[in-house]
A and B are shown apart, each in its own frame.
Chain A
Protein backbone atom coordinates (compact mmCIF):
# COMPACT_ATOMS: atom_id res chain seq x y z
CA UNK A 1 0.00 0.00 0.00
CA UNK A 2 1.29 3.40 -0.83
CA UNK A 3 0.19 6.86 0.18
CA UNK A 4 -1.62 8.84 -2.49
CA UNK A 5 -2.76 12.39 -3.02
CA UNK A 6 -5.91 12.53 -5.15
CA UNK A 7 -5.99 15.30 -7.71
CA UNK A 8 -8.97 17.02 -6.08
CA UNK A 9 -7.14 17.17 -2.74
CA UNK A 10 -4.25 19.27 -4.00
CA UNK A 11 -5.84 22.62 -3.18
CA UNK A 12 -7.07 21.48 0.26
CA UNK A 13 -3.54 20.17 0.92
CA UNK A 14 -1.91 23.49 0.07
CA UNK A 15 -4.47 25.23 2.30
CA UNK A 16 -3.65 22.90 5.20
CA UNK A 17 0.09 23.38 4.76
CA UNK A 18 -0.29 27.16 4.51
CA UNK A 19 -1.87 27.26 7.97
CA UNK A 20 1.47 26.51 9.60
CA UNK A 21 4.14 27.09 7.00
CA UNK A 22 5.15 29.58 4.37
CA UNK A 23 4.18 27.69 1.21
CA UNK A 24 5.20 28.71 -2.29
CA UNK A 25 3.20 27.11 -5.07
CA UNK A 26 2.73 27.69 -8.80
CA UNK A 27 -0.46 29.55 -9.70
CA UNK A 28 -1.99 30.96 -12.82
CA UNK A 29 -1.72 34.70 -12.25
CA UNK A 30 -2.89 36.86 -15.14
CA UNK A 31 -2.39 34.01 -17.56
CA UNK A 32 1.20 33.27 -16.49
CA UNK A 33 2.37 30.57 -14.10
CA UNK A 34 4.19 32.17 -11.18
CA UNK A 35 5.37 30.92 -7.83
CA UNK A 36 3.59 32.71 -5.01
CA UNK A 37 2.93 32.37 -1.29
CA UNK A 38 -0.25 34.44 -1.43
CA UNK A 39 -3.14 32.52 0.23
CA UNK A 40 -5.67 34.19 -2.06
CA UNK A 41 -4.08 32.57 -5.08
CA UNK A 42 -4.39 28.98 -3.81
CA UNK A 43 -7.59 28.57 -5.82
CA UNK A 44 -5.60 29.41 -8.96
CA UNK A 45 -3.03 26.64 -8.37
CA UNK A 46 -1.68 25.43 -11.66
CA UNK A 47 1.13 22.96 -12.00
CA UNK A 48 3.64 23.56 -14.78
CA UNK A 49 6.88 25.30 -15.62
CA UNK A 50 6.68 28.76 -14.14
CA UNK A 51 7.57 31.75 -16.28
CA UNK A 52 10.48 32.64 -13.98
CA UNK A 53 12.11 29.71 -12.17
CA UNK A 54 11.79 29.64 -8.38
CA UNK A 55 15.58 30.04 -8.07
CA UNK A 56 14.66 33.37 -6.49
CA UNK A 57 13.99 31.54 -3.24
CA UNK A 58 17.62 30.47 -3.10
CA UNK A 59 19.20 33.38 -4.92
CA UNK A 60 16.93 36.39 -4.56
CA UNK A 61 17.12 38.96 -7.35
CA UNK A 62 18.35 41.32 -4.64
CA UNK A 63 19.80 39.86 -1.47
CA UNK A 64 21.21 41.85 1.42
CA UNK A 65 24.57 40.35 2.32
CA UNK A 66 25.85 42.97 4.73
CA UNK A 67 23.99 45.46 6.89
CA UNK A 68 25.08 48.07 9.37
CA UNK A 69 24.37 46.99 12.92
CA UNK A 70 25.77 49.91 14.88
CA UNK A 71 27.82 52.95 14.05
CA UNK A 72 31.00 51.11 13.09
CA UNK A 73 30.03 47.51 12.62
CA UNK A 74 28.73 45.71 9.58
CA UNK A 75 27.48 42.16 9.64
CA UNK A 76 25.40 39.62 7.78
CA UNK A 77 21.64 40.13 8.16
CA UNK A 78 19.68 37.46 10.00
CA UNK A 79 17.01 35.56 8.14
CA UNK A 80 13.80 34.11 9.57
CA UNK A 81 14.23 30.49 10.47
CA UNK A 82 10.62 29.64 9.63
CA UNK A 83 10.34 26.61 7.37
CA UNK A 84 9.51 27.42 3.78
CA UNK A 85 7.89 24.85 1.58
CA UNK A 86 7.93 24.76 -2.17
CA UNK A 87 4.97 22.80 -3.40
CA UNK A 88 4.66 21.49 -6.94
CA UNK A 89 8.22 22.00 -8.09
CA UNK A 90 8.65 20.75 -11.63
CA UNK A 91 11.13 17.87 -12.14
CA UNK A 92 13.27 20.10 -14.39
CA UNK A 93 13.44 22.73 -11.65
CA UNK A 94 14.25 20.08 -9.03
CA UNK A 95 17.16 19.03 -11.21
CA UNK A 96 18.26 22.65 -11.59
CA UNK A 97 18.09 23.19 -7.80
CA UNK A 98 20.22 20.13 -7.18
CA UNK A 99 22.82 21.39 -9.64
CA UNK A 100 22.79 24.87 -8.09
CA UNK A 101 23.45 23.24 -4.72
CA UNK A 102 26.54 21.60 -6.22
CA UNK A 103 27.74 24.91 -7.69
CA UNK A 104 27.36 26.83 -4.45
CA UNK A 105 29.08 24.11 -2.40
CA UNK A 106 32.42 23.80 -4.12
CA UNK A 107 35.69 24.98 -2.59
CA UNK A 108 34.11 27.97 -0.86
CA UNK A 109 30.49 27.16 0.16
CA UNK A 110 28.22 30.19 -0.02
CA UNK A 111 26.69 30.91 3.38
CA UNK A 112 23.70 32.85 2.06
CA UNK A 113 22.71 30.19 -0.45
CA UNK A 114 23.07 27.35 2.03
CA UNK A 115 21.16 28.92 4.89
CA UNK A 116 18.23 29.55 2.55
CA UNK A 117 18.40 26.04 1.15
CA UNK A 118 18.40 24.60 4.69
CA UNK A 119 15.11 26.30 5.46
CA UNK A 120 13.26 24.98 2.42
CA UNK A 121 11.42 21.70 2.03
CA UNK A 122 10.66 20.70 -1.53
CA UNK A 123 7.52 18.85 -2.54
CA UNK A 124 8.12 18.01 -6.16
CA UNK A 125 5.45 17.03 -8.61
CA UNK A 126 5.53 15.55 -12.08
CA UNK A 127 5.30 12.54 -14.32
CA UNK A 128 8.98 11.74 -14.63
CA UNK A 129 12.12 11.73 -12.48
CA UNK A 130 15.86 12.03 -12.95
CA UNK A 131 18.16 9.27 -11.82
CA UNK A 132 20.86 11.67 -10.60
CA UNK A 133 20.90 15.06 -8.91
CA UNK A 134 17.24 14.99 -8.00
CA UNK A 135 17.14 16.31 -4.46
CA UNK A 136 13.53 16.80 -3.41
CA UNK A 137 12.18 15.84 0.00
CA UNK A 138 8.85 14.50 -1.21
CA UNK A 139 7.91 13.72 -4.77
CA UNK A 140 4.32 13.44 -5.97
CA UNK A 141 4.50 11.12 -8.94
CA UNK A 142 1.59 11.52 -11.31
CA UNK A 143 -0.61 8.44 -11.82
CA UNK A 144 -3.28 10.17 -13.86
CA UNK A 145 -5.98 11.38 -11.47
CA UNK A 146 -3.93 10.78 -8.37
CA UNK A 147 -0.35 11.25 -7.19
CA UNK A 148 1.76 8.62 -5.52
CA UNK A 149 3.68 10.02 -2.58
CA UNK A 150 7.41 9.20 -2.66
CA UNK A 151 9.35 10.13 0.46
CA UNK A 152 13.00 10.90 -0.20
CA UNK A 153 13.77 12.61 3.09
CA UNK A 154 12.37 11.13 6.32
CA UNK A 155 12.71 14.48 8.06
CA UNK A 156 10.02 15.82 5.74
CA UNK A 157 7.43 13.19 6.74
CA UNK A 158 5.70 15.68 9.00
CA UNK A 159 4.45 17.36 5.85
CA UNK A 160 2.25 14.32 5.21
CA UNK A 161 0.56 14.40 8.60
CA UNK A 162 -2.89 15.13 7.20
CA UNK A 163 -4.98 11.94 7.31
CA UNK A 164 -7.99 13.54 5.65
CA UNK A 165 -6.00 14.60 2.62
CA UNK A 166 -4.16 11.41 1.72
CA UNK A 167 -5.58 8.08 0.77
CA UNK A 168 -4.08 4.65 0.34
CA UNK A 169 -3.69 2.84 -2.90
CA UNK A 170 -2.49 -0.63 -3.76
CA UNK A 171 -1.42 0.60 -7.14
CA UNK A 172 2.20 1.49 -7.43
CA UNK A 173 3.11 3.19 -10.64
CA UNK A 174 6.38 2.86 -12.37
CA UNK A 175 8.01 6.20 -12.65
CA UNK A 176 9.22 7.31 -16.03
CA UNK A 177 12.86 8.34 -16.22
CA UNK A 178 13.60 11.64 -17.93
CA UNK A 179 15.18 11.25 -21.31
CA UNK A 180 17.47 14.07 -22.29
CA UNK A 181 17.49 15.52 -25.77
CA UNK A 182 20.00 13.54 -27.86
CA UNK A 183 21.91 16.80 -28.37
CA UNK A 184 23.15 16.44 -24.76
CA UNK A 185 23.91 12.72 -25.00
CA UNK A 186 27.54 13.17 -25.98
CA UNK A 187 28.79 15.78 -23.54
CA UNK A 188 32.40 15.50 -24.60
CA UNK A 189 31.56 16.09 -28.24
CA UNK A 190 29.39 19.07 -27.39
CA UNK A 191 32.05 20.64 -25.15
CA UNK A 192 34.73 20.10 -27.75
CA UNK A 193 32.58 21.60 -30.52
CA UNK A 194 32.06 24.75 -28.48
CA UNK A 195 35.69 24.99 -27.43
CA UNK A 196 36.81 24.80 -31.03
CA UNK A 197 34.24 27.29 -32.29
CA UNK A 198 35.71 30.41 -30.68
CA UNK A 199 36.63 31.99 -34.00
CA UNK A 200 33.51 30.71 -35.79
CA UNK A 201 31.31 33.10 -37.78
CA UNK A 202 28.31 31.57 -35.94
CA UNK A 203 28.92 33.93 -33.02
CA UNK A 204 29.25 36.94 -35.31
CA UNK A 205 26.00 36.03 -37.07
CA UNK A 206 24.29 35.55 -33.73
CA UNK A 207 25.51 38.94 -32.48
CA UNK A 208 23.77 40.59 -35.44
CA UNK A 209 20.31 39.51 -34.27
CA UNK A 210 20.96 39.14 -30.52
CA UNK A 211 19.87 42.17 -28.47
CA UNK A 212 22.31 41.39 -25.64
CA UNK A 213 19.47 42.01 -23.18
CA UNK A 214 20.22 39.11 -20.85
CA UNK A 215 16.59 37.92 -20.62
CA UNK A 216 17.77 34.34 -21.10
CA UNK A 217 19.95 34.61 -17.98
CA UNK A 218 17.18 35.93 -15.78
CA UNK A 219 14.76 33.15 -16.72
CA UNK A 220 17.38 30.39 -16.67
CA UNK A 221 17.10 28.17 -13.57
CA UNK A 222 20.86 27.61 -13.75
CA UNK A 223 22.19 31.10 -14.44
CA UNK A 224 23.53 32.45 -11.19
CA UNK A 225 26.16 35.10 -11.89
CA UNK A 226 25.86 38.17 -9.70
CA UNK A 227 27.02 41.68 -9.02
CA UNK A 228 27.27 43.40 -5.68
CA UNK A 229 26.43 46.99 -4.90
CA UNK A 230 26.26 49.24 -1.87
CA UNK A 231 23.26 51.27 -0.83
CA UNK A 232 23.05 54.31 1.38
CA UNK A 233 20.17 55.41 3.57
CA UNK A 234 17.77 57.88 1.98
CA UNK A 235 18.99 61.48 2.09
CA UNK A 236 22.18 60.63 3.92
CA UNK A 237 25.68 59.40 3.37
CA UNK A 238 25.24 56.57 5.85
CA UNK A 239 25.83 53.04 4.65
CA UNK A 240 22.66 50.99 4.68
CA UNK A 241 23.51 47.68 3.10
CA UNK A 242 25.49 45.72 0.56
CA UNK A 243 23.42 43.61 -1.81
CA UNK A 244 24.22 40.80 -4.15
CA UNK A 245 21.99 40.93 -7.20
CA UNK A 246 21.29 39.18 -10.48
CA UNK A 247 23.14 40.28 -13.55
CA UNK A 248 23.84 38.74 -16.93
CA UNK A 249 27.10 38.00 -18.70
CA UNK A 250 25.38 39.28 -21.86
CA UNK A 251 25.55 42.84 -20.54
CA UNK A 252 28.45 44.99 -21.71
CA UNK A 253 29.29 46.16 -18.19
CA UNK A 254 29.84 42.60 -17.00
CA UNK A 255 33.53 42.44 -17.99
CA UNK A 256 34.34 46.08 -17.28
CA UNK A 257 37.43 46.81 -15.17
CA UNK A 258 39.51 49.90 -14.40
CA UNK A 259 41.93 48.75 -17.11
CA UNK A 260 39.24 48.40 -19.79
CA UNK A 261 36.54 46.01 -20.93
CA UNK A 262 37.72 42.47 -21.56
CA UNK A 263 34.75 41.46 -23.68
CA UNK A 264 33.53 44.60 -25.44
CA UNK A 265 32.12 42.61 -28.35
CA UNK A 266 28.70 40.98 -27.99
CA UNK A 267 29.87 37.93 -29.97
CA UNK A 268 32.46 37.20 -27.27
CA UNK A 269 29.90 37.57 -24.50
CA UNK A 270 27.48 35.26 -26.30
CA UNK A 271 30.31 32.75 -26.74
CA UNK A 272 31.09 33.06 -23.02
CA UNK A 273 27.46 32.18 -22.12
CA UNK A 274 27.59 29.00 -24.20
CA UNK A 275 31.11 28.24 -22.98
CA UNK A 276 30.03 28.50 -19.36
CA UNK A 277 27.00 26.28 -19.78
CA UNK A 278 28.46 23.60 -22.03
CA UNK A 279 32.19 23.59 -21.27
CA UNK A 280 32.95 25.04 -17.85
CA UNK A 281 29.97 23.70 -15.91
CA UNK A 282 30.42 20.10 -17.14
CA UNK A 283 34.01 20.33 -15.89
CA UNK A 284 32.94 21.68 -12.53
CA UNK A 285 29.78 19.74 -11.69
CA UNK A 286 29.65 17.01 -14.32
CA UNK A 287 26.48 18.30 -15.94
CA UNK A 288 25.72 20.95 -18.55
CA UNK A 289 24.39 24.22 -17.19
CA UNK A 290 21.04 23.54 -18.79
CA UNK A 291 18.03 21.38 -17.91
CA UNK A 292 16.33 22.01 -21.25
CA UNK A 293 13.33 23.80 -19.73
CA UNK A 294 13.01 26.05 -22.78
CA UNK A 295 12.43 29.26 -20.80
CA UNK A 296 15.25 31.10 -22.57
CA UNK A 297 13.75 30.23 -25.94
CA UNK A 298 10.30 31.47 -24.90
CA UNK A 299 11.53 34.74 -23.49
CA UNK A 300 14.05 35.67 -26.18
CA UNK A 301 12.84 38.80 -27.95
CA UNK A 302 15.08 37.93 -30.91
CA UNK A 303 13.61 34.41 -31.10
CA UNK A 304 17.00 32.74 -30.67
CA UNK A 305 16.90 29.04 -29.92
CA UNK A 306 20.08 27.82 -28.25
CA UNK A 307 19.47 24.31 -29.55
CA UNK A 308 19.61 25.52 -33.14
CA UNK A 309 22.92 27.17 -32.28
CA UNK A 310 24.25 23.95 -30.72
CA UNK A 311 23.09 21.91 -33.71
CA UNK A 312 24.87 24.25 -36.10
CA UNK A 313 28.07 23.68 -34.10
CA UNK A 314 27.86 19.90 -34.00
Chain B
Protein backbone atom coordinates (compact mmCIF):
# COMPACT_ATOMS: atom_id res chain seq x y z
CA UNK B 1 0.00 0.00 0.00
CA UNK B 2 1.36 3.39 -0.96
CA UNK B 3 2.19 5.86 1.77
CA UNK B 4 0.71 9.09 0.46
CA UNK B 5 2.09 11.08 3.38
CA UNK B 6 5.72 10.27 2.63
CA UNK B 7 7.42 13.11 0.71
CA UNK B 8 10.43 12.91 -1.58
CA UNK B 9 13.58 14.83 -0.98
CA UNK B 10 14.62 17.44 -3.53
CA UNK B 11 17.09 20.32 -3.70
CA UNK B 12 16.66 24.04 -4.10
CA UNK B 13 18.39 25.06 -7.34
CA UNK B 14 17.88 28.80 -7.17
CA UNK B 15 16.02 31.50 -5.29
CA UNK B 16 14.94 34.74 -6.91
CA UNK B 17 13.91 37.19 -4.21
CA UNK B 18 11.54 39.88 -5.44
CA UNK B 19 10.94 41.46 -2.04
CA UNK B 20 11.60 40.40 1.58
CA UNK B 21 8.37 38.50 1.53
CA UNK B 22 8.04 37.30 -2.05
CA UNK B 23 10.38 34.95 -3.90
CA UNK B 24 10.57 32.38 -6.67
CA UNK B 25 12.02 29.03 -5.62
CA UNK B 26 13.28 26.67 -8.31
CA UNK B 27 13.61 23.05 -7.19
CA UNK B 28 15.13 20.03 -8.88
CA UNK B 29 12.17 17.95 -10.03
CA UNK B 30 13.29 15.09 -12.24
CA UNK B 31 10.30 12.85 -11.62
CA UNK B 32 7.69 15.44 -10.84
CA UNK B 33 5.19 15.42 -13.65
CA UNK B 34 2.18 17.69 -13.41
CA UNK B 35 -0.22 19.80 -15.44
CA UNK B 36 -1.03 23.47 -14.83
CA UNK B 37 -3.47 23.85 -11.94
CA UNK B 38 -2.38 20.83 -9.91
CA UNK B 39 -0.65 21.36 -6.59
CA UNK B 40 2.12 19.84 -4.48
CA UNK B 41 2.65 19.59 -0.73
CA UNK B 42 5.98 21.19 0.18
CA UNK B 43 7.53 20.63 3.56
CA UNK B 44 10.57 21.35 5.64
CA UNK B 45 10.88 18.78 8.42
CA UNK B 46 10.33 20.59 11.70
CA UNK B 47 8.42 23.45 10.11
CA UNK B 48 5.38 21.74 8.67
CA UNK B 49 3.79 21.15 5.32
CA UNK B 50 1.54 23.25 3.07
CA UNK B 51 0.06 23.14 -0.43
CA UNK B 52 1.66 25.12 -3.30
CA UNK B 53 0.95 25.31 -7.02
CA UNK B 54 3.88 25.15 -9.45
CA UNK B 55 4.33 28.16 -11.64
CA UNK B 56 6.35 26.82 -14.58
CA UNK B 57 5.83 24.76 -17.71
CA UNK B 58 5.89 21.08 -16.71
CA UNK B 59 9.25 20.19 -18.28
CA UNK B 60 10.28 17.48 -15.75
CA UNK B 61 13.64 19.22 -15.28
CA UNK B 62 12.75 21.56 -12.50
CA UNK B 63 9.74 22.83 -10.64
CA UNK B 64 9.17 26.41 -9.65
CA UNK B 65 7.08 27.98 -6.89
CA UNK B 66 6.12 31.59 -6.25
CA UNK B 67 5.99 31.94 -2.46
CA UNK B 68 4.83 34.72 -0.18
CA UNK B 69 6.08 34.55 3.38
CA UNK B 70 2.91 34.17 5.46
CA UNK B 71 3.42 31.46 8.07
CA UNK B 72 5.95 29.27 9.84
CA UNK B 73 6.85 27.14 6.82
CA UNK B 74 7.14 29.97 4.32
CA UNK B 75 9.15 32.10 6.78
CA UNK B 76 11.63 29.22 7.09
CA UNK B 77 11.75 28.84 3.30
CA UNK B 78 13.13 32.37 3.06
CA UNK B 79 16.07 31.38 5.25
CA UNK B 80 17.07 28.50 2.95
CA UNK B 81 19.77 28.75 0.30
CA UNK B 82 20.38 27.05 -3.04
CA UNK B 83 21.64 23.55 -2.36
CA UNK B 84 19.45 23.06 0.73
CA UNK B 85 16.99 20.21 0.83
CA UNK B 86 13.25 20.45 0.81
CA UNK B 87 10.58 17.75 0.75
CA UNK B 88 7.78 17.45 -1.77
CA UNK B 89 4.86 15.13 -2.52
CA UNK B 90 2.27 15.29 -5.26
CA UNK B 91 0.87 16.30 -7.65
CA UNK B 92 -2.66 16.44 -6.27
CA UNK B 93 -5.94 17.70 -7.63
CA UNK B 94 -7.09 18.28 -11.17
CA UNK B 95 -5.45 20.55 -13.74
CA UNK B 96 -7.22 23.26 -15.74
CA UNK B 97 -9.43 21.64 -18.42
CA UNK B 98 -6.84 22.27 -21.13
CA UNK B 99 -8.87 20.58 -23.90
CA UNK B 100 -11.69 23.03 -23.38
CA UNK B 101 -9.33 25.97 -23.90
CA UNK B 102 -8.46 24.96 -27.48
CA UNK B 103 -9.32 27.57 -30.14
CA UNK B 104 -10.86 29.86 -27.55
CA UNK B 105 -10.16 33.37 -26.32
CA UNK B 106 -8.50 33.02 -22.95
CA UNK B 107 -8.49 35.77 -20.35
CA UNK B 108 -6.10 35.10 -17.47
CA UNK B 109 -6.57 37.17 -14.31
CA UNK B 110 -3.96 36.96 -11.55
CA UNK B 111 -3.77 38.87 -8.29
CA UNK B 112 -0.41 38.91 -6.45
CA UNK B 113 0.75 35.40 -5.62
CA UNK B 114 -2.19 34.10 -7.62
CA UNK B 115 0.10 34.37 -10.64
CA UNK B 116 1.55 30.96 -9.68
CA UNK B 117 -0.94 28.68 -11.48
CA UNK B 118 -1.78 31.36 -14.04
CA UNK B 119 1.86 31.61 -15.15
CA UNK B 120 2.10 27.85 -15.44
CA UNK B 121 -1.02 27.86 -17.62
CA UNK B 122 0.29 30.80 -19.65
CA UNK B 123 3.57 28.99 -20.36
CA UNK B 124 1.61 25.93 -21.37
CA UNK B 125 -0.73 27.82 -23.71
CA UNK B 126 2.21 29.74 -25.16
CA UNK B 127 4.13 26.55 -25.94
CA UNK B 128 1.14 24.67 -27.35
CA UNK B 129 -0.01 27.76 -29.22
CA UNK B 130 -3.48 26.41 -29.91
CA UNK B 131 -5.62 29.17 -28.45
CA UNK B 132 -7.06 32.02 -30.47
CA UNK B 133 -6.10 34.85 -28.24
CA UNK B 134 -4.53 34.94 -24.79
CA UNK B 135 -4.71 37.96 -22.50
CA UNK B 136 -3.23 38.32 -19.03
CA UNK B 137 -4.42 40.84 -16.48
CA UNK B 138 -1.97 40.82 -13.61
CA UNK B 139 -2.37 42.97 -10.51
CA UNK B 140 0.23 43.55 -7.81
CA UNK B 141 0.66 45.95 -4.92
CA UNK B 142 4.04 47.47 -5.84
CA UNK B 143 6.34 47.39 -8.86
CA UNK B 144 8.86 45.16 -7.10
CA UNK B 145 6.27 42.43 -6.69
CA UNK B 146 5.92 41.81 -10.42
CA UNK B 147 7.12 38.23 -10.84
CA UNK B 148 8.51 36.81 -14.11
CA UNK B 149 8.67 40.30 -15.61
CA UNK B 150 11.17 39.32 -18.31
CA UNK B 151 9.42 36.09 -19.17
CA UNK B 152 6.08 37.83 -19.41
CA UNK B 153 7.35 40.64 -21.60
CA UNK B 154 9.06 38.15 -23.95
CA UNK B 155 5.62 36.77 -24.79
CA UNK B 156 4.18 40.10 -25.81
CA UNK B 157 4.14 39.12 -29.48
CA UNK B 158 1.51 36.47 -28.87
CA UNK B 159 0.01 37.39 -25.51
CA UNK B 160 -1.56 40.66 -24.47
CA UNK B 161 0.00 41.46 -21.10
CA UNK B 162 -1.79 44.04 -18.94
CA UNK B 163 -0.28 44.90 -15.59
CA UNK B 164 -1.89 47.04 -12.94
CA UNK B 165 -0.32 48.27 -9.73
CA UNK B 166 -2.26 49.27 -6.63
CA UNK B 167 0.41 51.36 -4.91
CA UNK B 168 2.88 52.50 -7.63
CA UNK B 169 6.01 54.70 -7.38
CA UNK B 170 5.91 58.29 -8.61
CA UNK B 171 7.58 57.42 -11.93
CA UNK B 172 5.12 54.71 -12.84
CA UNK B 173 3.00 55.44 -15.90
CA UNK B 174 0.93 52.32 -16.31
CA UNK B 175 -2.49 51.39 -15.03
CA UNK B 176 -3.15 52.07 -11.34
CA UNK B 177 -5.66 50.04 -9.36
CA UNK B 178 -6.74 46.45 -8.81
CA UNK B 179 -7.31 43.88 -11.57
CA UNK B 180 -10.98 44.78 -11.87
CA UNK B 181 -9.96 48.19 -13.28
CA UNK B 182 -8.81 46.34 -16.41
CA UNK B 183 -11.79 44.04 -16.73
CA UNK B 184 -13.63 46.34 -19.10
CA UNK B 185 -15.64 46.14 -22.30
CA UNK B 186 -12.72 47.43 -24.39
CA UNK B 187 -10.25 44.87 -23.11
CA UNK B 188 -12.20 41.67 -22.49
CA UNK B 189 -13.03 39.86 -25.71
CA UNK B 190 -16.46 38.41 -26.25
CA UNK B 191 -16.94 34.68 -25.65
CA UNK B 192 -13.77 34.52 -23.57
CA UNK B 193 -12.90 31.84 -21.06
CA UNK B 194 -11.73 33.56 -17.89
CA UNK B 195 -9.23 31.89 -15.53
CA UNK B 196 -8.77 33.59 -12.17
CA UNK B 197 -6.41 33.14 -9.27
CA UNK B 198 -5.88 35.57 -6.43
CA UNK B 199 -7.12 36.55 -2.98
CA UNK B 200 -10.82 35.95 -2.14
CA UNK B 201 -11.63 39.66 -2.32
CA UNK B 202 -10.36 39.77 -5.92
CA UNK B 203 -12.68 36.93 -6.91
CA UNK B 204 -15.73 38.71 -5.60
CA UNK B 205 -15.16 41.92 -7.56
CA UNK B 206 -13.66 40.36 -10.69
CA UNK B 207 -16.48 37.82 -11.07
CA UNK B 208 -19.09 40.54 -10.79
CA UNK B 209 -17.42 42.46 -13.60
CA UNK B 210 -16.95 39.39 -15.81
CA UNK B 211 -20.60 38.44 -15.44
CA UNK B 212 -21.58 42.00 -16.28
CA UNK B 213 -19.52 41.72 -19.47
CA UNK B 214 -21.48 38.64 -20.44
CA UNK B 215 -18.95 35.93 -19.61
CA UNK B 216 -20.84 32.76 -18.74
CA UNK B 217 -20.61 31.28 -15.23
CA UNK B 218 -19.41 27.98 -16.65
CA UNK B 219 -16.63 29.79 -18.51
CA UNK B 220 -15.14 31.37 -15.39
CA UNK B 221 -12.51 29.14 -13.79
CA UNK B 222 -11.12 29.77 -10.32
CA UNK B 223 -8.42 28.12 -8.32
CA UNK B 224 -9.40 27.86 -4.66
CA UNK B 225 -7.04 28.05 -1.73
CA UNK B 226 -7.40 25.86 1.34
CA UNK B 227 -4.87 24.64 3.88
CA UNK B 228 -5.23 20.92 3.34
CA UNK B 229 -3.23 18.61 5.58
CA UNK B 230 -3.39 15.43 3.53
CA UNK B 231 -4.11 16.24 -0.12
CA UNK B 232 -6.03 12.96 -0.45
CA UNK B 233 -9.53 13.85 0.73
CA UNK B 234 -9.35 12.73 4.34
CA UNK B 235 -8.43 15.56 6.69
CA UNK B 236 -11.59 17.60 5.90
CA UNK B 237 -9.82 20.97 5.96
CA UNK B 238 -10.58 21.73 2.31
CA UNK B 239 -14.24 20.79 2.10
CA UNK B 240 -16.57 23.04 0.14
CA UNK B 241 -20.08 21.70 0.43
CA UNK B 242 -20.08 18.28 -1.22
CA UNK B 243 -16.67 18.76 -2.79
CA UNK B 244 -13.08 18.61 -1.68
CA UNK B 245 -10.68 21.21 -3.02
CA UNK B 246 -7.90 18.58 -3.04
CA UNK B 247 -9.81 15.84 -4.89
CA UNK B 248 -12.40 17.67 -6.98
CA UNK B 249 -10.49 20.94 -7.39
CA UNK B 250 -8.50 23.03 -6.86
CA UNK B 251 -9.90 24.33 -10.18
CA UNK B 252 -13.64 24.93 -10.25
CA UNK B 253 -15.96 26.83 -12.53
CA UNK B 254 -17.97 29.63 -10.97
CA UNK B 255 -21.08 27.60 -11.80
CA UNK B 256 -19.75 24.71 -9.69
CA UNK B 257 -18.91 27.07 -6.85
CA UNK B 258 -22.44 28.46 -6.84
CA UNK B 259 -23.74 24.90 -6.62
CA UNK B 260 -21.44 24.19 -3.67
CA UNK B 261 -22.97 27.11 -1.80
CA UNK B 262 -19.76 27.64 0.11
CA UNK B 263 -17.23 30.40 0.52
CA UNK B 264 -14.77 31.16 -2.29
List the interface of chain A (C-beta within 8 A of B): 65-66, 68, 72-76, 103-104, 106-112, 114-115, 198, 224-232, 237-240, 242, 244, 249, 254-260, 262-263, 268, 272, 275-276, 279-280, 283
Contacts of A229 on B, CB cut-off 8 Å?
48
Number of A-B contacts (CB under 8 A): 112
Q: Is the CB of B237 within 8 A of A111?
A: no
List the interface of chain B (C-beta within 8 A of A): 1-7, 9, 43, 45-49, 68, 70-71, 74, 85, 87, 199-200, 225-227, 229-230, 232-237, 239, 241-242, 247, 261-263
Distance in angstroms between the alpha carbons of A74 and B87 in the assembled complex = 9
Q: Is the CB of A258 within 8 A of B234?
A: no
**26 residue pairs from A and B, CB less than 8 Å apart:** A66-B6, A72-B9, A76-B5, A107-B232, A108-B233, A108-B234, A110-B232, A110-B234, A115-B1, A225-B236, A226-B229, A227-B229, A229-B48, A232-B46, A239-B45, A239-B46, A240-B46, A242-B5, A257-B225, A257-B226, A258-B68, A258-B225, A259-B200, A272-B239, A276-B236, A283-B242
Interface majority SS on B: helix, strand, loop or mixed?
loop
Q: Is the CB of A108 within 8 A of B4?
A: yes
Name, among A231, A255, A259, A279, the residue most crowded by chain B CB atoms within 10 Å (CB to CB): A259
Among B87, B200, B241, point to the contact of A260 (Cβ < 8 A). B200
Distance in angstroms between the alpha carbons of A272 and B5 in the assembled complex = 26
Contacts of A254 on B, CB cut-off 8 Å?
237
Measured CB to CB, the nearest residue on chain B to A260 is B200
Among B46, B68, B241, point to the contact of A237 (Cβ < 8 A). B46
Distance in angstroms between the alpha carbons of A256 and B50 in the assembled complex = 12
Q: Is the CB of A230 within 8 A of B46?
A: yes
Q: Is the CB of A279 within 8 A of B235?
A: no
Distance in angstroms between the alpha carbons of A122 and B140 in the assembled complex = 58
Q: Is the CB of A276 within 8 A of B45?
A: no
Q: Is the CB of A230 within 8 A of B70?
A: no
18 more A-B residue pairs beyond the given contacts A76-B6, A107-B233, A262-B226, with a C-beta to C-beta distance below 8 A: A66-B6, A68-B45, A72-B9, A106-B233, A107-B232, A110-B4, A111-B1, A111-B4, A225-B236, A228-B5, A228-B230, A242-B5, A254-B237, A256-B227, A258-B74, A268-B263, A279-B242, A283-B242
Name, among B9, B45, B47, B235, the residue most crowded by chain A CB atoms within 10 Å (CB to CB): B45
Contacts of A225 on B, CB cut-off 8 Å?
235-237
